[in-house]
């Protein structure tokens, strides 16, 4: 049974140099029409695949807080009328840009049931922020977090990125030192990935983007892990750190390989054993809903073998790893009967460790996570 929903808002006030998510400049875009069609998609999806109650809702983008006040109110109305009931203590998250959240919008979000904010901070170095195409400053972050806390938000995440162009481990340490002064509950720390169709990709192709080397990037990641633990933020997933009880319950749905709705242009869902991909371009998204009621451009029936592979490479992202009993219960087969050779080889290389209850990445395995995950695609 589905207990989580993701809603994609593809509009941005500006486009960052590294971003490859489905997004468009909000200026002169049919935002109100788009929200109407998101509502239609939700109604039609839930009619086919109903839920009892939702435990998590995550509104991402793009930049959801790029919507103006009436548009934000409309989005919250859709959530309040179409995605109910919510479970007790449901987690409702909005991604936010530090420069897009005046106090009146914070109040609107809180009154609309939002109880978790995720700010795209990336770094507290203002020169680096300019270099990566961000328009906010470190001062804007302080103001936004302070305003959110004063408005009563007690569950706040800051996204940070390391291995940025020209960045050093010393820069990362400085950003972390500043971040820890803000008294937030959660951090996400990602290394920069150069994706096609981005400004940074084009610069790399022309040899005009000075990126840290692999050794420097690894040093930055280890610095992030060590400093987070030292300041009371437990690493519960490769890139995520939280105080006790503030883990992202929505993202844990993905890593636990559980079903979720994906609404909006370019969104992905996992419902009734099918991976669903929505059309990305707004016109195509609208057209498909008009024609078929749903915006899918790809529907993939996940095989049993694929489910087991996903259980491993998603679950190993968690520091707790993949539980043996849970694997057996889900698939009726012991983990070692399916992946014995892969498990033993990665243990031999020092990338995995095994207890009676679970298999999980070692510290060395975290540094080479993608290689470990790839090994489980049989």
Residue 124 is assigned to a structural domain of this protein: yes
Residue 371 is assigned to a structural domain of this protein: yes
Q: Name the helix (H) or strand (E) containing 191.
A: strand 186-191
CATH number of the domain within which 316 lies = 1.10.10.920
- The per-residue pLDDT for range 101-124, each reduced to its tens digit, is 999 999 999 999 999 999 999 999
pLDDT exceeds cutoff 80 at 18: no
Are 250 and 308 in a shared domain? no
Mind giving me the DSSP string for 7-49?
Answer: EEE-EESS--TT--SS-EE-TT--HHHHHHHHHHHHHHHHHHS
Quickly state the pLDDT bin for 285 (edges 50, 70, 90): very high
Are 320 and 245 in a shared domain? no
The pTM (predicted TM-score) of the whole model is: 0.96
Are 369 and 230 in a shared domain? no
Distance of alpha carbon 63 from alpha carbon 25, whole angstroms: 10
Quickly state the pLDDT bin for 20 (edges 50, 70, 90): low
Domain boundary among 187, 220, 255: 255
- Report pLDDT for 99: 84
Q: Name the helix (H) or strand (E) containing 212.
A: none
Residue 141, φ and ψ in degrees, nearest 5: -65, -45
Quickly state the pLDDT bin for 324 (edges 50, 70, 90): very high
* Average pLDDT of the chain, as a whole number: 95
Beta bridge partners of 194: none
- Domain extent, residue 310, equals 304-375
Number of domain units in the chain: 2
Are 324 and 190 in a shared domain? no
Residue 109 is assigned to a structural domain of this protein: yes
């Amino acid at each position: 049974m589905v207990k989580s929903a993701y809603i994609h808002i593809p509009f941005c006030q500006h486009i960052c140099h590294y971003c490859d998510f489905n997004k468009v400049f909000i200026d002169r875009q049919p935002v109100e029409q788009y929200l109407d069609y998101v509502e239609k998609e939700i109604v039609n999806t839930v009619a086919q695949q109903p839920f009892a109650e939702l435990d998590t809702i995550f509104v991402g983008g793009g930049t959801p807080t790029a919507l103006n006040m009436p548009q934000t109110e409309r989005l919250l109305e859709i959530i309040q009328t179409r995605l109910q009931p919510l479970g007790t203590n449901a987690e409702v998250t909005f991604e936010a840009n530090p420069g897009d959240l005046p106090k009146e919008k914070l109040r609107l979000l809180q009154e609309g049931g939002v109880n978790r904010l995720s700010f795209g901070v990336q770094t507290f170095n203002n020169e680096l922020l300019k270099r990566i195409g961000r328009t906010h400053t470190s001062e804007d972050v302080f103001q936004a977090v302070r305003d959110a806390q004063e408005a009563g938000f007690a569950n706040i995440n800051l996204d940070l990125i390391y291995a940025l162009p020209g960045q050093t481990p010393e820069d990362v340490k400085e950003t972390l030192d500043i971040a820890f002064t803000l008294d937030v509950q959660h951090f996400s720390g990602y290394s920069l990935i150069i994706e096609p169709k981005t400004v940074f990709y084009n610069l790399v192709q022309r040899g005009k983007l000075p990126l840290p080397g692999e050794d420097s990037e690894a040093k930055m990641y280890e610095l992030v892990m060590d400093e987070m633990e030292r300041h009371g933020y437990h690493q519960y997933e490769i890139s995520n750190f939280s105080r006790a009880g503030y883990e992202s319950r929505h993202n844990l749905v993905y890593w636990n390989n559980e079903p979720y709705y994906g609404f909006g242009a370019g969104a992905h869902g996992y419902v009734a054993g099918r991976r669903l991909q929505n059309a990305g371009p707004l016109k195509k998204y609208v057209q498909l809903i008009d024609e078929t009621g749903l915006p899918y451009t790809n529907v993939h029936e996940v095989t049993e073998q694929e489910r087991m592979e996903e259980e491993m490479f998603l679950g190993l992202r968690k520091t707790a790893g993949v539980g043996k009993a849970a694997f057996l219960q889900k698939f009726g087969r012991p983990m070692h009967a399916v992946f014995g050779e892969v498990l033993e080889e990665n243990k031999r290389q020092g990338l995995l460790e095994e207890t009676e209850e679970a298999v999980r990445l070692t510290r060395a395995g975290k540094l080479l996570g993608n290689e470990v995950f790839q090994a489980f695609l049989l």
